[in-house]
Amino acid sequence: MKSDFYIDNRKRLMDPLSDESIVIVYSGNMMYKTGDETYPFTPNRNFFYLTGIDRDNMILVMIKSKQTCREKLFIENNDPVLSRWIGEKLSHEEAEKLSGITNIQSIDSFEKSLHYDIASLLQPKVWLDFQRRGWQEAVTWEQTLHISLSTKYPYITPRHIGPAIHALRRIKQPEEIKLIEKAIDLTHQGLTELVTHCQPGMMEYELEAYFDFILRKNGVTDKAFKTIAACGKNAATLHYCDNCAVSGESDLLLLDLGAQWEYYSADITRTIPVCGHFSNTQKTLYQIVLDTQQAVIDRIKPGLLFEELNKTARKELLKGLQTIGKCQNDSDLQEFYYHGVSHYLGLDTHDVGQRDVLEPGMVITVEPGLYFRDENIGIRIEDDVLITQKGYQILSCKIPKTVNDIEKWMKGS
């Protein structure tokens, strides 16, 4: 991605803000795993969306005054001794090239610089990224800064900038859609490697390894999420990812997986018969899910309420199950279908933003499913869909999903 993309993102974020606004976004900390070993670092996606930089312990500061915006990026200095062990830090020149920010400073000067910016404004309004998953989460860098600001500058009450960034991220630019398409293509390649090697008696983790091999071979450094390779009854657990069971002759294998390319995710689910062909019962249930998915996709257009997608999914699943005597009414459906049919897709697999009205440029998933734990069956079919000016485009349309196409696919056709 060129720096112009990130420059434009920052401009679109700052333009609606009032004068004397200071926006501060942190890239994130490297988390320790054990001893001196750290977990692989992944950047705060809001920071990445605004800078294109994926290094830890960096701070973006943007100050709007007199309808103009000043930008600063604070980064760590290189340590010649430490660089022999873990490599060199990002240079000022590299940071400028990636982000398009010309004012690059040492992170050691952040506090002094922030004080100057606050003192230079009559009524400063500070914005921090306070996104939080739950009450029990550890105190974040932003919260610590909030406490310091409130103590040192009692007249400042920091506000949450996250929703404003999330609103921008909901609508994907052409460059972002290309990266999602790349992630989908790599996912397709990995899936093909997996399904063509699938045989009864293989461990779920063996099957997962075929997918992983293709991704690593093509330069993928991280997956969009932990792969779900769930045989039989395991598929009825939505986020099962132990992948440690043996696949049976009569099992269906639910594969929910995705490559990540430049931090943009694919999210695809396919359900295949381990032995290479569906039984009559499996075929009937599978077709209900597939028909439901198509009914939901057919409704997609700008202006549709997000909640209407799941209403359609529930209606179609119920109708299909009533036809075969598996379900009587809507209240019974909860036993066999217990998740939503769609979410946003982008820099996060479950991407951010209010789920209200569909707009052109949004990328969503469509993933109905049916789960019969007593029968050791779980079926889900998921595709990634772009909302267009007049309707939709299925970005993952090349990945087989009909009964006949899947059976041919597994034979290498």
pLDDT at 350 over 80: yes
Average pLDDT, the chain: 96
Query: pLDDT class for 34, splitting at 50, 70, 90?
Result: confident
What is each CA distance from 309 to 144, 232, 297, 320, 364, in whole angstroms? 40, 28, 8, 17, 11
Phi, psi of 340 (to 5 degrees): -75, 165
Residues 83, 182 within the same domain: no
Work out the average pLDDT over 316-339.
94
Measured CA to CA, the distance from residue 49 to residue 176 in angstroms comes to 10
Confidence (pTM): 0.96
Residues 318, 219 within the same domain: yes
Residues 203, 296 within the same domain: yes
Look at phi and psi of residue 324 and say left if phi exceeds 0, alpha if psi is from -120 to 50, else beta: alpha
Residues 32, 137 within the same domain: yes
Question: Encoding tokens for residue 300?
Answer: 């997609």
Residues 180, 156 within the same domain: no
Q: Please report which helix (H) or strand (E) contains residue 285, including its range.
A: helix 280-299
3-state secondary structure of 195: helix
Measured CA to CA, the distance from residue 281 to residue 278 in angstroms comes to 8
pLDDT at 289: 98
What is each CA distance from 244 to 53, 131, 206, 208, 345, in whole angstroms? 36, 34, 9, 10, 28
Residues 361, 229 within the same domain: yes
pLDDT at 286 over 90: yes
pLDDT at 36: 81
Q: Which of 100, 135, 169 is the last residue of a domain?
A: 169
Count structural domains, the chain: 2
Work out the average pLDDT over 340-358.
97
Q: What is the pLDDT of residues 351-389, one digit of tens each?
A: 999 999 999 999 999 999 999 999 999 999 999 999 999
Measured CA to CA, the distance from residue 105 to residue 111 in angstroms comes to 12
Question: Encoding tokens for residue 160?
Answer: 């949450």
Residues 235, 383 within the same domain: yes
Query: pLDDT class for 185, splitting at 50, 70, 90?
Result: very high
Measured CA to CA, the distance from residue 99 to residue 48 in angstroms comes to 9
Residues 262, 406 within the same domain: yes
Question: Encoding tokens for residue 65?
Answer: 């005054």
Work out the average pLDDT over 281-293.
98
Q: Which of 120, 135, 169 is the last residue of a domain?
A: 169
Residues 116, 262 within the same domain: no
pLDDT at 35 over 90: no
**Torsion on CA atoms 308, 314, 317, 319, rounded to nearest 10:** -90
56 contact partners, CB below 8 Å, separation of at least 6: 27, 28, 29, 30, 41, 43
Residues 165, 176 within the same domain: no
pLDDT at 113: 97
pLDDT at 131 over 90: no
pLDDT at 281: 96
Q: What is the pLDDT of residues 206-245, one digit of tens each?
A: 999 999 999 999 999 999 999 999 999 999 999 999 999 9
Dihedral sign (CA 396, 402, 406, 412)? negative
pLDDT at 137: 84
Burial annotation 354-386 (CB, 10 A radius, 16+ → b, else e): ebeebebbbbbbbbbbbbbeeebbbbbbbbbbb
Measured CA to CA, the distance from residue 155 to residue 119 in angstroms comes to 12
Q: What is the pLDDT of residues 62-97, one digit of tens each?
A: 999 988 999 999 999 998 888 888 889 999 999 999
Q: Residue 232, Cβ neighbours under 10 Å: how many?
A: 22
Residues 118, 251 within the same domain: no
User: What secondary structure does DSSP assign to 211-247, as a single string?
Assistant: HHHHHHHTT--SBSS--EEEEGGGGGSTT-----SBP
pLDDT at 356: 96
Q: Please report which helix (H) or strand (E) contains residue 384, including its range.
A: strand 383-387
Q: Could you tell me if 294 and 341 are in contact, meaning their C-beta atoms sit under 8 angstroms apart?
A: no
pLDDT at 97: 97
What is each CA distance from 119 to 124, 285, 374, in whole angstroms? 8, 66, 66
Q: What is the pLDDT of residues 135-161, one digit of tens each?
A: 888 889 999 999 999 999 999 999 999
CATH number at residue 396: 3.90.230.10
CATH number at residue 97: 3.40.350.10
Q: Residue 401, Cβ neighbours under 10 Å: how many?
A: 22
pLDDT at 76: 95
What domain range is 129 assigned to? 3-169
Q: Which of 152, 169, 186 is the last residue of a domain?
A: 169
pLDDT at 2: 95
pLDDT at 317: 98
Residue in this structure with the two tokens 């240079």, named with its chain if needed: 91
Question: Encoding tokens for residue 211?
Answer: 């997918």
Residues 216, 252 within the same domain: yes
* SS3 track for 305-359: EHHHHHHHHHHHHHHHHHHCCCCCCHHHHCCCCCCCCCCECCCCCCCCCCCCECC
Work out the average pLDDT over 186-202.
98
What is each CA distance from 273 to 4, 103, 276, 294, in whole angstroms? 46, 57, 5, 21
